Amino acid sequence: MATEQTNNPQYTAADYKNSQTARWCPGCGDHAILNVLHKAMARLGVAPKDTVVVSGIGCSSRLPYYMNTYGMHTIHGRAAAIATGVKTARPDLTVWQISGDGDGLAIGGNHFIHALRRNIDINILLFNNKIYGLTKGQYSPTSERGTVSKSSPYGTTEDPFVPAELCFGARGNFFARSFDIALDTTQEVMVAAARHKGASVVEVLQNCVIFNNGIHSFMSDKEQRADHTIHLRHGEKMLFGKNNEKGIVQDGFGLKAVVVGEDGYTMDDVLVHDAHSEDYYLQMQLAMMDGHRLPMAIGVIRDVNTETYDQAVSRQVDEVKHRKNYANLRDMILRTSESWEVK
Amino acid sequence: MLQTTNIKTLDKVVVRFSGDSGDGMQLAGNIFSNVSAGEGNEISTFPDYPAEIRAPQGSLSGVSGFQVSIGKGVHTPGDAADVLVAMNPAALKTNLKHLKPTGIIICDSDSFRPADLKKAEYKTDDPIAELGIDTKRVMLVPMSTLLKSTLADSGMDAKAIAKCKNMLALGIVCWLFDRPVESVLHKLQAKFAKKPAIYEANAKVVQAGWDYGHNTHSSMPTYRIETAQAEPGTYVDVNGNTATAWGLIMASEKSGRPLFLGSYPITPATDILHELAKRKDLGVKACQMEDEIAGICSAIGASYAGHLAVTSTSGPGLALKGEALGLAVMAELPLVLIDVQRGGPSTGLPTKTEQTDLMQALYGRNGESPLCVVAAASPTDCFTMAFEAARIAIEHMTPVILLTDAFIANGSSAWRVPEESDYPEIHPNYVTPEMLEKGWRPFDRDEESLVRYWAIPGLDKAMHRVGGLEKDYKTSVISTDGANHELMVKTRREKIARIADSIPEINVAGDTSSDTILVGWGGTYGHLFTATEELNASGTPVAFAQFRYINPLPKNALEMLRGYKNIIVAELNTGMFADYLQMHLPGKEILRINKVEGQPFMVSEIVEGVKNHLKA
């Protein structure tokens, strides 16, 4: 984010958009996410020439073709590793990675966790529709146990990953969540992810209108959302419900949703969100709320800044270069190797 | 051999150090080689070590060897040793086959204890007699006893003392070949700069070894080894992996593109990662990634971002990188992949040498996926070919695979440190402001070379996307049109073929008027060259050509080969390069000499192989 110019809105969404027509299915959640990304980038103000968008393979990974930035549409699962190379080589560039749940968490699971562990400063947008769309409808590593799909006609017999849990397990320092149709929240978390220094994961719960239609609607539909989701904001009380009448309170080792003023719970009992706490114990519990017993958390759940991999590599290079002060390869060889002269 | 008192003069001599893999034989061998190189000898070394870091002590499987040839006209570490140092009965047993019939043995008589003999599977208590060795050829040295008395006052414990045994052997060998102890001490000082007590102990032991030889075996001949007249300059001893790393750095300096390595540890290529990780002091970013795939993928990312990007690996890693290589072919990004070949398939013989990845390098990807393949001929040639691989990658916007092998990667030779002016500038094919004004598309090409132009992120008005999907020849936009795809396939192929315009023609050595040519590629150069010399000296005239540019072949290669009646291809596989040439030379019979034992050729095997073919 070296080139961020937040207070200088010299760019508009149109500057990040190219002339290609997006070829996702009509009604696909990806259209909304793409439009929000254009707007988020304009808000961030990093020049298109200093922005690189890297994707793997899958429906969502077509996204770079619809950007007027630098971009790479690469191979299945490897976007995180490629984005790591871009950013390590060039910390001055702002790097976005676009992956789906299959690309990022199945074939690309190893690169996903290591990008987080390494804390490379890339912004990972994880489009989670809990299905493989481009290969026409197989279950994914985020599909619920029992999901019936073309490759699981009798229901899956395996448990899914929860991306947030994987992120925390991999020592990720930024995790946020939104819905494809929650445009403002998506923009808010994209901007926060980009401003965060280090690997950031934005999970966008996205609808596949063809193969998994309505998978998130029990909590994303307008009439459901207030009771089944909670928008977390750092430093604010964890309130939700149509009139913000409900809150999240500590209940032993766990969390509980209560109605403020009922059963002896007062506003003082309602937890205040701390996205900057290094200890992720509570953030993890919040991230694991699934919209059933407890509301699904959206917004920025964890946001902790530490030195990034690309910064650390560059710092080390600068330090060692300065300390050894070799003029070039030949100078290094002559000063470090046993040599002899032939006349 | 042991009776006369004199100094013999030899052209070249081969010494083999052998012992337990924890005995420090590689270090002793390396110091001996370095000292000899400093004395003006040509050197060629061959470390031969087991895959286990510390195999059971004293066992046959745990023996580690280091062979070095020193002298004049040295191109290989030698077929067999003139002197064998054996630190224990197991080493003696497993290494006897590497000794010339007239060679002498220096061994530790203190190591012939019943337990050691049993571990080495001897049936009697006299290993010398049991192996049928003429006692006149053996110098039995009570090394452990000598060591203890030398270091009696050092205050070191028995374990620490035992660790110095390799230096005793080194001292004796240095006496035998008239190497100055001072040079050895100089090397030790550098190695143990931060551990003065260890240096003192080792220095004392080296001197004790030298004195022992001098005093106890004064009747034995010692040797003076011929020095070679080398090109003036400053020399260092370098192994192939280090030379590879340095060649890449030189290419970075000559192209102005910073160097990025994405890699994953794998034998026998890891030393490239080690060296480049140290070279942060020259601005290199060397990253150990989470796996082989991330190694190449991070390099592809760095390449797109404008770096000279490299990934280093061995055969199993090349297999894992195949899909990503295809992406680099499709996106037409510069990338260097170094494959230090080892014995395969699968895990195979991880520490041993082979040339069995040629077909994988040429064809091991999905789709029509042509790329440039080059190979290094010797440890020092690794520098030149790493530079060349990088030059071709950058100037032709293509992935390049550099094939080396365990033999040249670990082996070393004396090498003249190049001057800045010895290597040419590398010219990246950058997009120009004029092109951007006119409306540039990312897959616009130079008409002659078919190379696309490089636009590096950060450059305004050049924002573009690359990827694995096929794109339209004219518009660079993704396309599934059949005719366009065929055009693009042919264009990518032709782009690689035209690299032939920028590589040197192949040289023919030996007796070029002969109707027989011996052909090799890559790391077998030294053995084939020496075999050629021997054949020509013994009345079997042969020409000789060693290929370093495999795809494309040098422009003159096929015409040159057609000129010979007999083409004999010698390689460390079952005939991959021979098959490749056969494809280009339909109707021409190609004779073969093959070996797949995890070991380099012996010169004698090639000499015999050629003679047998010509007899038939």
Mutate which: A78, A87, A98, A110, vs B, most B CBs within 10 A = A78
Of B262, B292, B84, B269, the closest CA to residue B173 belongs to: B84
Of B423, B400, B403, the closest CA to residue B548 belongs to: B403
| Smallest Cα distance from B242 to chain A, Å | 11
Check whether B113 has a pLDDT greater than 90. Answer: yes
The alpha carbon of A256 is separated from its chain's Cα centroid by a whole number of angstroms, namely 26
| Sheet with strand B543-547: strands edge to edge | B509-510, B543-547, B516-521, B566-571, B590-594
Which chain A residues are closer than 8 Å to B366 by Cβ? Answer: none
- What does pTM read for this prediction? 0.94
A5 occurs within a structural domain: no
pLDDT at B6: 61
Query: How far is the CA of A37 from the CAs of A30, A33, A42, B138, in angstroms?
Result: 10, 6, 9, 79
Which chain B residues are closer than 8 Å to A121 by Cβ? Answer: none
Check whether B2 has a pLDDT greater than 60. Answer: no
> Phi-psi bin for A325: left (phi > 0), alpha (psi -120 to 50), beta?
left
pLDDT at A2: 43
pLDDT at B49: 79
B57 occurs within a structural domain: yes
N-term to C-term CA, chain A: 54
Q: B106 with B121: CB under 8 angstroms?
A: no
pLDDT tens per residue across span B155-189? 899 899 999 999 999 999 999 998 999 999 999 99
Closest residue of chain B to A68, computed from CA coordinates: B463
Report the residue from B234, B293, B303 with minimal CB separation from A81: B293
> What SS3 class is residue B254?
helix
Higher pLDDT, A86 or B8: A86
* Alpha helix positions (H), A73-148: 79-89, 101-105, 109-118
pLDDT at B50: 76
What token pair was written down for B52? 């286990």
Check whether A9 has a pLDDT greater than 70. Answer: no
Report the residue from B280, B416, B457 with minimal CB separation from A52: B457
Determine, for residues B304 and A72 on separate chains, whether the beta-carbon distance falls below 8 Å. Answer: yes
Check whether A338 has a pLDDT greater than 90. Answer: no
Q: B380 with B413: CB under 8 angstroms?
A: yes
Determine, for residues B285 and A89 on separate chains, whether the beta-carbon distance falls below 8 Å. Answer: yes
pLDDT at B1: 37
- Which of A205-214, B227-236, B358-367 is predicted least confidently? B227-236
Share of chain B above pLDDT 70, in %: 98
Closest residue of chain A to B283, computed from CA coordinates: A317
pLDDT tens per residue across span A71-110? 999 999 999 999 999 999 999 999 999 999 999 999 999 9
B321 occurs within a structural domain: yes
Higher pLDDT, B9 or A134: A134
Q: B595 with B572: CB under 8 angstroms?
A: yes
- Which of A183-192, B102-111, B224-233, B407-416 is predicted least confidently? B224-233
Mean pLDDT across chain A, nearest whole number? Answer: 95
Closest residue of chain A to B250, computed from CA coordinates: A329
Which chain A residues are closer than 8 Å to B280 by Cβ? Answer: 316-317, 320-321
B83 — pLDDT class (breaks 50, 70, 90): very high
Which chain B residues are closer than 8 Å to A90 by Cβ? Answer: 302, 305-307, 457-458
Please tell me the total count of domains within chain B: 3
Q: A292 with A181: CB under 8 angstroms?
A: no
Rounded distance between C-alpha atoms, residue A228 and residue A205, angstroms: 14
Q: B503 with B529: CB under 8 angstroms?
A: no
Pick the last residue of a domain from B165, B193, B225.
B225
Determine, for residues B231 and A85 on separate chains, whether the beta-carbon distance falls below 8 Å. Answer: no
Q: Which amino acid is at B336?
A: V
Rounded distance between C-alpha atoms, residue A96 and residue A38, angstroms: 12
Which chain A residues are closer than 8 Å to B281 by Cβ? Answer: 320-321, 323-324, 326, 332
B420 — pLDDT class (breaks 50, 70, 90): confident
Check whether A8 has a pLDDT greater than 70. Answer: no
Mutate which: B250, B465, B476, B478, vs A, most A CBs within 10 A = B465
B268 occurs within a structural domain: yes
Task: Point out which residues pair with B400 in neighbouring strands.
Answer: B336, B372
Which chain B residues are closer than 8 Å to A11 by Cβ? Answer: none
Closest residue of chain B to A66, computed from CA coordinates: B465
Pick the last residue of a domain from B205, B225, B245.
B225
* Mean pLDDT computed over A126-155: 96
B1 occurs within a structural domain: no
Kindly state whether residues B576 and B455 are assigned to the same domain: no
Closest residue of chain A to B442, computed from CA coordinates: A70
pLDDT tens per residue across span B180-220? 999 999 999 988 989 999 999 999 999 999 999 988 876 66
pLDDT at B100: 94
Please tell me the total count of domains within chain A: 1
- Which of B49-58, B226-235, B605-614 is predicted least confidently? B49-58
Mutate which: A57, A70, A324, vs B, most B CBs within 10 A = A70
Q: B320 with B293: CB under 8 angstroms?
A: yes
Kindly state whether residues B606 and B519 are assigned to the same domain: yes
Which chain B residues are closer than 8 Å to A54 by Cβ? Answer: 301
Neighbours of B466 (CB within 10 A): 25
Q: B548 with B599: CB under 8 angstroms?
A: no
Which chain A residues are closer than 8 Å to B433 by Cβ? Answer: none
Which domain does B177 fall in, by range?
A: 7-225
B142 occurs within a structural domain: yes
> At CA B25, angle to CA B22 and CA B31, rounded to 5?
135
Which chain A residues are closer than 8 Å to B465 by Cβ? Answer: 64-65, 67, 70-73
pLDDT tens per residue across span A50-59? 999 999 999 9
Q: Output Rg (C-alpha) for chain A, integer angstroms.
A: 22
Kindly state whether residues B367 and B429 are assigned to the same domain: yes
Rounded distance between C-alpha atoms, residue B482 and residue B474, angstroms: 14
What token pair was written down for B596? 């797949």
Which chain A residues are closer than 8 Å to B234 by Cβ? Answer: 334, 339-342
Determine, for residues A339 and B235 on separate chains, whether the beta-carbon distance falls below 8 Å. Answer: yes
* Mean pLDDT computed over A131-160: 96
Rounded distance between C-alpha atoms, residue B239 and residue B46, angstroms: 10
Check whether B132 has a pLDDT greater than 60. Answer: yes
Check whether A5 has a pLDDT greater than 70. Answer: no
A38 occurs within a structural domain: yes
Rounded distance between C-alpha atoms, residue B567 and residue B518, angstroms: 6
With tokens 């994953």, the residue in question is B264
Rounded distance between C-alpha atoms, residue A35 and residue B494, angstroms: 41
Q: B272 with B241: CB under 8 angstroms?
A: yes
- Which of A2-16, A264-278, B478-492, B596-610 is predicted least confidently? A2-16
pLDDT at B219: 65
Which chain A residues are closer than 8 Å to B331 by Cβ? Answer: 72
| ipTM for the complex shown | 0.96
Bond preceding residue B268 cis, omega within 30 of 0:
yes
pLDDT tens per residue across span B370-405? 999 999 999 999 999 999 999 999 999 999 999 999
Mutate which: A53, A55, A88, vs B, most B CBs within 10 A = A88
A289 occurs within a structural domain: no
Neighbours of B555 (CB within 10 A): 15
Determine, for residues A74 and B297 on separate chains, whether the beta-carbon distance falls below 8 Å. Answer: yes
Provide the CATH number for the domain around residue A159: 3.40.50.970
Report the residue from B34, B282, B299 with minimal CB separation from A85: B299
* Mean pLDDT computed over B110-126: 93
| Smallest Cα distance from B457 to chain A, Å | 6
- Count A/B contacts: CB-CB distance under 8 Å: 202
Bond preceding residue B114 cis, omega within 30 of 0:
no
Determine, for residues B289 and A68 on separate chains, whether the beta-carbon distance falls below 8 Å. Answer: no
Give the helix, strand, coil percentages of chain A, each rounded to 5. 35, 20, 40
| Smallest Cα distance from B174 to chain A, Å | 18
pLDDT at B198: 92
Kindly state whether residues B581 and B564 are assigned to the same domain: yes
Report the residue from B38, B324, B463 with minimal CB separation from A340: B38
Q: At what angle do helices A29-44 and A183-195 cross, to 10 degrees?
A: 50
* Mean pLDDT computed over B472-481: 96
Closest residue of chain B to A73, computed from CA coordinates: B467
Rounded distance between C-alpha atoms, residue B259 and residue B284, angstroms: 5
Q: What are the E-state strand segments in chain A? A: 51-55, 70-73, 94-100, 122-128, 131-132, 138-139, 174-179, 200-205, 229-232, 239-240, 246-251, 254-259, 296-303, 339-342
B2 occurs within a structural domain: no
pLDDT tens per residue across span B326-373? 999 999 999 999 999 999 999 999 999 999 999 999 999 999 999 999
* Mean pLDDT computed over B475-489: 97
A316 occurs within a structural domain: no
pLDDT at A3: 46
Pick the last residue of a domain from B471, B503, B535.
B503
Q: A66 with A42: CB under 8 angstroms?
A: no
Which chain A residues are closer than 8 Å to B299 by Cβ? Answer: 85
Check whether B276 has a pLDDT greater than 50. Answer: yes
Which domain does A30 fall in, by range?
A: 13-215
Q: B530 with B75: CB under 8 angstroms?
A: yes
Report the residue from A69, A326, A338 with minimal CB separation from B187: A338
Q: B310 with B261: CB under 8 angstroms?
A: yes
* Mean pLDDT computed over A261-274: 97
Check whether B4 has a pLDDT greater than 50. Answer: no
> Phi-psi bin for B397: left (phi > 0), alpha (psi -120 to 50), beta?
left
Provide the CATH number for the domain around residue B86: 3.40.920.10
Residues B67-103 as b/e (b if ≥16 CB within 10 A, e otherwise) read: bbbbbeebbbbbbbbbbbbbbbbbbbbbbbebbeeeb
Determine, for residues B417 and A339 on separate chains, whether the beta-carbon distance falls below 8 Å. Answer: yes
